[in-house]
Structures are given as structure tokens and as C-alpha cells.
Amino acid sequence: MKYEDFSFTVKYRNGEELINDVTAVIPNNDSPDEPYITFTDYSLDENNEFNTYYGKITEVDGQPVVSRDLTKYEILFIKDSLKDEIVKDVNNAILDNLEE
């Protein structure tokens, strides 16, 4: 899922700009003001699927910054949260179909 109003642009030293779209926002239980995100730049991996990156929104000099400097435990937390969200969505879809 893409968050329509939540994209950011990376500007490289050579002047090239790359738009990244946020695909998930995960609350950070340890630091509520620094949520985790997953995002893509639409580059493809070896399986021809979009690359997904993990980050945390922090604030530097009053500006939001996406930090990709995460621990392996933070990345595992993000992945587990995404799995939980998928399970909830599937369960809700099944319940909706049973109620019809």
C-alpha cells in the first residue's frame, strides 16, 4: 500500500533526484515521535520485484529525516509488525465474506 501523501525525495550530489514512496508506517513503541517506515524507490531486485527499504523518521534541525541506520532488532520488529498487519487484513476479509 502506498501512502498517497507521504513521499520524499533524495537529492544526490550530482543533482539527480529520486522519489521514494512510503508503503507502511509502523509506530515505534520506544520512541513515539520516531515512527518506522518502509519505502520503495521502485528499483527492482534480482526477482524483478520492487526493493523495499526500512527506515525511521527522526528530526534534525527541525526537519524530518529518514534514517536507515537501524539495528537488526528494529528491522525484525518492522517485519513482524507487517506480518501481523497482513494477518489482520486477511482475517477481516474472511469475516466480511462470512457476514455477507
- Per-residue pLDDT of 41-71, as tens digits, reads 999 999 999 999 999 999 899 888 889 999 9
Neighbours of 39 (CB within 10 A): 22
Q: Which residues contact 28 (CB under 8 A, 6 or more apart)?
A: 34, 35, 36, 56
Burial of 23 (C-beta count, 10 Å sphere; 0-12/13-18/19+): middle
- Are 58 and 68 contacting, i.e. CB atoms less than 8 angstroms apart? no
pTM of the model: 0.74
Per-residue pLDDT band for 1 (boundaries 50, 70, 90) equals very low
